[in-house]
Chains A and B, each alone.
Chain A
Amino acid sequence: MGKWTRRAFIGAGVAAGGALVVGIAVRPGNPIDRLSPLVAKGKGEQLINAWVKIDADNIVTAIVPHVEMGQGIFTSLAQMLADELDADWSKVRILEAPADDKYVSHDIVREFAAPNLEVPAILEPTASGSFLSLATVMTLQITGGSFSIRGTGQRAMRTAGAAAREMLVAAAAKEWNVRAAELRTENSMVLHDKSSKSATFASFATAAAEQSLPAKPKLKSPKDYKLMGKPIARTDIPEKTDGSAIFGIDADLPGMKYAAVKAPPVVGAAVETMDATTAKTMPGVLQILNMGDFVAVVADGYWQAEQALATIDTTYSKTDGDGLDQDALFARYAKMLDEAGDSDGDVEAEEGDVGEAFANAATKVEAEYKVPFLAHATMEPMNCTAWVREGKCDVWSGTQMPLMARKAAAETSGIDYDNVTYHNAYLGGGFGRRAEMDMIIMATRIAKATQYPVKMIWSREEDTMQDHYRPSATSRFQGGLDKDGKAVSWSNIHTHLFDPQEAPTVPYYNIANHKIRKIDVPTHLRFGPWRSVDHSQHGFFIESFVDEMAQAAGKDGYAFRRELLAGSPRHLKVLDTAAKMSGWDKPLPEGHGRGIAFVPSFGTIIAEVAEVDMTGKKPKVKKIFVAADPGFAVNPDGFAAQMESSIAYGLTATLFGEISVKDGAVQQSNFHDYPILRINEMPDVAVEIINGDHKRLGGAGEPGLPPLAPAVTNAIFAATGKRVRELPLSKVDFA
């Protein structure tokens, strides 16, 4: 991350009203002649990202290029900028960046396009240049991948704050005719102790903009942090508590009408016939649309639209998915895994010779695990409001990808990109669902047909049945142990790979011989990122199998993992902390059990211990102990909240989460058959944060989830001796 400043240049200017605006100009840069052919020509200055402004009232506004979906990111990113600036937190305001290409999240492209990219320093400008170009092409402005703090915050918000501070100091030094080194900053003031002079940032804002731009603004070391590392209250909580917060579904326009929609139950089918005889006569109905891939009713009110929609008879075209049931789908996975045998499939990681090591192993362990499709079930159902008229298009929603939404609206409406405005609001839950564009495209198509503003809202049933699901998946393992119970081989083949690429791999475990493969299994359901993405299933697969190997080795799950992590002190510290928090060695009452799981993901190392009560008919998860090393937690309270919410979300999936298909259609439709964890089912959660490396930050939004399911099922094994190899637990008979 320290390399950032070599290719970042600071840009500044004075905006209307005397505000100092500091931004970072990111250029592909190419100081080395022999590399020039590798850099795309004619790029020049690509992006000017303005992230901080200071107005005449000494109010500092942090402009945040990410969306707020309950994860508290507005507060944490502003904290990072304000700390480097030495701003008075009570005078800091936060503004969400507009859906504009200037706010492209280039960092996220870099991380996602080449997650393990380690290029020699000499190549950095080239790598950077090409990824910036990619970012521009893809029109990204993503909030996802647990990336905002470790990417945008660490590389951009802090740099912008530090640069603004240095420019203000330089301006003050000039005006007071003192050396800059004699000045200090505090609470949005510049102070000269020798002469007892002090003045607000605002009084130097204009002069600061004329200062030369610091090429390498000095970032604080942790001992000087004033805001970072503090549990500062989230700025979005009051308005979410009193109900004044505006979400996408709250969009309200003069003359706006409402649309209810229904898509064919089998994804991929087309609407062949539509009988709207009754719907046409129903109150409030304005238009009935057969869009080919869905039916829409537009009415004065949403209820009227829904009621009319329910009366419409439709027939759908036949598709390949029509006859498919969930059992047949798992049978298809099994058949393809059988066919892949010991050598086919795509190799994702390989070291040593697993074939030989497994053949010679003293103890052999084999297991197969399965997980179902999962829906996102955001509290706010999918919705979008669009208005297409006279060469202009405006779209309102809450999305994780505002720029992509703008682009989708432009392409769908056929209106020039520059005349399309995308208005983003708070997201009532994202979890990856709002990284999809289907709701934007559908609403824009409806509004294009009506030419007046329309708010499209999906019913909960549509939301559940037309999701982009976490894939159902099967994973098979073979593990070998030597005569001392030491793991010597690890072989895995599984269905599907979406993202991140490293999710199925275990580079942190010392197993000399390992081979990990995947096969692609076509299904007609749409896949989408679901909180922690592929780590959600692989966390369960990997950590269940590690536990089975420990059992076969006759070892305790915690002790066995300690062996696997030998030589990795940072990893061991996390594992040890979780064990210590849980009182791992202390006995539990009869019928209770503890399980441990360890999954590093999204740059954060996490171990969780679950304590489960199996004395009743159903598992009761009593406690979860989380030890996490995110490098450095910028807002520890926000970080802990993300751990707690990951546990609520992950436990929902572990206990009941299941989307299944019958005759090609999703069987579940609402919360009665796709339940969400209730408050009485929520375990006590204890979180301990380890700030292990302040230079390499990890994410918070997702990494708390992957260890949860295996910690719970390993605890069930400890309590009952019953090994759970298929989720959710509601399918398992514990009688």
Chain B
Amino acid sequence: MKAVFRASALVLVITLAACGSDPAPEPTEQIVVREPGADASEASDTTAPEPAGEATASLVAAGKSAFNTCIACHVLEKGGANRIGPNLYGIIGQAAGSADGFKYSDAMASSGITWTKEELDSYLANPAAKVPGTTMMAGAISDAGQREAIIAYIEDASAN
């Protein structure tokens, strides 16, 4: 895994409560030991270590974790059954609406999109804007880094 530097010191933030009668008071005391990004991979790494120095592997791993938001509706395995959404195996490079046996919205089926990484990225950023009328109700991912990771994971999983 990549070497990660732990935040050197504890960061202490003390906030005073704004008002005692506030129905949703903020913390009277907030001790920030560490920001989540600071050593997330170290802290969450309880599985087998990745090969050292491979940025792609790290991105794929992040994508695998981020893909958890997608698995309620999508599978990502060869021959896997469509669920609420289509199987995403091998989607990169395919024409939109081409997963076998999945009933696409008319909007998606007639979109004419070919799913390059760039197209997927802009779709995931705002599905309803990219394909008005899509039935993909969830899935907008505002964080560009997360989109990149998810797409890397889809590509990696489709290659296996």
Give me the interface of A with B, judged by CB distance under 8 Å: 16-18, 57, 246, 252-255, 257, 271, 274, 276, 280, 283-293, 300-301, 411-414, 441, 444-445, 448-449, 452
- Is A17 a contact of B24 with CB atoms below 8 Å? no
Determine which of B28, B32, B68, B72 lies in contact with A286 in the assembled complex, contact meaning CB atoms within 8 Å.
Answer: B32
Are B133 and A16 neighbours in the complex by a CB distance under 8 Å? yes
B26 touches A448 (CB 8 A): yes
Q: Are A274 and B29 also in contact (CB < 8 A) when A16-B107, A16-B133, A252-B68 are?
A: yes
Query: What 5 additional pairs, Cβ within 8 angstroms, besides A17-B133, A291-B28?
Result: A16-B135, A254-B66, A285-B33, A287-B31, A293-B25
6 nearest A-B residue pairs (beta carbon): A290-B29, A412-B24, A254-B66, A288-B31, A300-B43, A16-B133
**Would you list 5 pairs from A and B whose C-beta atoms are within 8 A, ordered by A residue?**
A16-B133, A17-B133, A286-B35, A288-B31, A289-B27
How many Å lie between the Cα of A244 and that of B44 in the bound state? 24
CB distance B106 to A18 under 8 Å?
A: yes
Q: Is B30 an interface residue when CB atoms closer than 8 A count as contact?
A: yes
* B69, CB-defined interface residue at 8 Å: yes
With both beta carbons as reference points, the residue of chain A lying nearest to B137 in the complex is identified as A98
Q: Which of A246, A274, A289, A411 has the most CB of B within 10 A?
A: A289
CB-based contact A288/B24 at 8 Å: no
Contact between B146 and A254, CB atoms less than 8 A apart:
yes
For residue B22, which residue of chain A has the nearest CB? A292
Q: What is the bound-complex CA distance between A276 and B28, given in angstroms?
A: 14
In the complex, the answer to whether A445 meets B24 with C-beta atoms within 8 Å is: yes
Beyond A57-B103, A411-B23, A411-B24, whether A288 also contacts B33 by CB under 8 A is yes
Using known A-B contacts A252-B68, A253-B69, A280-B10, determine if residue A292 contacts B36 with beta carbons closer than 8 Å. no
A288, A291, A301: which contacts B25 (Cβ < 8 A)?
Answer: A291
Q: Does B56 count as interface, using CB distance less than 8 angstroms?
A: no
Question: Which residues of B sit under 8 angstroms from A276, Cβ to Cβ?
Answer: 31
Q: List, in ascending order, chain B residues with CB within 8 A of A291's CB.
A: 25, 27-28
B interface residue numbers (CB < 8 A to A): 10, 17, 23-36, 40, 43-44, 62, 65-66, 68-69, 72, 103, 105-107, 133, 135, 143, 146
Report how far A411 CA is from B24 CA in the complex, Å: 8
Instruction: Check if A445 sits within 8 Å of B26, measured CB to CB.
Output: yes
Task: Find out whether the CB atom of B32 lies under 8 angstroms from the CB atom of A287.
Answer: yes
- In the complex, are the beta carbons of A16 and B43 less than 8 A apart? no
Contact of A289 with B106 in the complex, beta carbons under 8 Å: no
Chain A residue nearest in CB terms to B83: A244
Taken together as a complex, chains A and B put the C-alpha atoms of A91 and B40 apart, in Å, by: 46
CB atoms of A284 and B36 under 8 A apart: no
**CB-nearest residue of chain A relative to B45?**
A300
- Min distance, Cβ B135 to any Cβ of chain A, angstroms: 7
Give the residues in chain A near B24, CB-CB below 8 Å: 411-414, 441, 444-445, 448
Which residues on the B side are within 8 Å of A289 (C-beta)? 27, 29-31
* Chain A residues with CB under 8 A of B107: 16-17
Chain A nearest CB: distance from B60 CB in Å?
Answer: 14
Cβ-defined contact, B29 with A257, below 8 A: no
Residues of B with C-beta under 8 A to A448? 24, 26
Name the CB-closest residue of A to B132: A16
Q: For residue B62, which residues in chain A have a CB less than 8 angstroms away from its CB?
A: 254
Q: For residue A300, which residues in chain B have a CB less than 8 angstroms away from its CB?
A: 36, 40, 43-44
- A292 close to B28 (CB less than 8 A): yes
Q: Kindly state the separation between the CA atoms of A280 and B25 in the bound complex, as whole angstroms.
A: 23
Minimum CB distance partner of A291 in chain B: B27
From residue B133, how far is it (CB to closest CB) to chain A in Å? 4
Smallest CB gap from B71: residue in A? A252
The CA of A413 and the CA of B22, in the complex, are separated in Å by 12
Q: From known contacts A16-B107, A300-B43, infer whether A252 and B69 are also in contact, taking CB-CB under 8 Å.
A: yes
Q: A290 near B106 (CB under 8 angstroms)?
A: no
Q: Which of B29, B68, B143 has the most CB of A within 10 A?
A: B29
Known: A280-B31, A445-B24. A16 touches B68 (CB 8 A): no
- A452 with B36: CB separation less than 8 A: yes
- A16 pairs with B28, CB closer than 8 A: no
Question: Is the beta-carbon distance between B29 and A254 smaller than 8 angstroms?
Answer: no
Cα-based distance from A269 to B28 in the complex (angstroms): 15
Question: Does the CB pair B34–A285 fall under 8 Å?
Answer: yes
B29: chain A residues at CB < 8 Å are 274, 288-290
Which residue, B23, B34, B135, has most C-beta atoms of chain A within 10 A? B34
Contacts of B143 in A (CB 8 A): 254
Asked whether, in the complex, the Cβ of B106 is within 8 Å of the Cβ of A17, the reply is yes
Q: Which of A17, A254, A292 lies in contact with B135, CB distance below 8 A?
A: A17
CB distance from A288 to the nearest CB of B (A): 4
The distance in angstroms between the C-alpha atoms of A293 and B26, with both chains bound, is 10
Smallest Cβ-Cβ distance to B38: which chain A residue: A286
Interchain nearest-CB distance for A653 vs B (Å): 33
With a cutoff of 8 Å between Cβ atoms, the chain B residues found around residue A283 in the complex are: 43
- Distance in Å: Cβ of A101 to nearest Cβ of chain B: 18
Q: Which residues of A contact B30 (CB under 8 A)?
A: 287-290, 449
Closest chain B CB from A316 CB (angstroms):
13
A20 to chain B, nearest CB (A): 15
- Residue of B24, B62, B146 with most partner-chain A CB within 10 A: B24
Bound CA span A283–B6, Å: 12
| Most interface-central of A57, A444, A445 (chain B CB within 10 A) | A445
* B72→A246 contact, CB < 8 A: yes
Closest residue to A283 on the B side, CB-wise?
Answer: B43
B20: nearest residue on chain A (CB-CB)? A292
Which B residues are CB-close (under 8 A) to A449?
26-27, 30
Q: How many Å from the CB of B127 to the closest CB on chain A? A: 13
* Residues of A contacting B72 in the complex (Cβ-Cβ under 8 angstroms): 246
Instruction: Find chain B residues with CB under 8 A from A441 CB.
Output: 24
Check A254 against B43 for contact (C-beta < 8 Å): no
- Among A253, A254, A274, A412, max chain B CB count under 10 A is at A254
Q: Is the CB of B106 within 8 A of A16?
A: yes
Q: How distant is B81 from chain A, measured CB to nearest CB, in Å?
A: 12
Chain B residues closer than 8 Å to A252, beta-carbon distance: 68-69
Measured between C-beta atoms, what is the minimum distance from A413 to chain B in Å?
A: 8
Measured CB to CB, the nearest residue on chain A to B31 is A288
Distance, CA A511 to CA B40, complexed state (A): 71
Instruction: Give the residues in chain B near A16, CB-CB below 8 Å.
Output: 105-107, 133, 135
Indicate which residue in B17, B68, B106 contacts A254 across the interface (CB closer than 8 Å).
B68
Distance of A285 Cα from B25 Cα, bound (Å): 23
Please tell me which one of the listed residues B17, B105, B106 contacts residue A292 in the complex, with CB atoms under 8 A apart: B17
- Nearest CB on B from A526, distance (A): 16
Name the CB-closest residue of B to A390: B142
B26 engages A284 (CB within 8 Å) = no
Chain B residue with the shortest CB-CB distance to A300 = B43
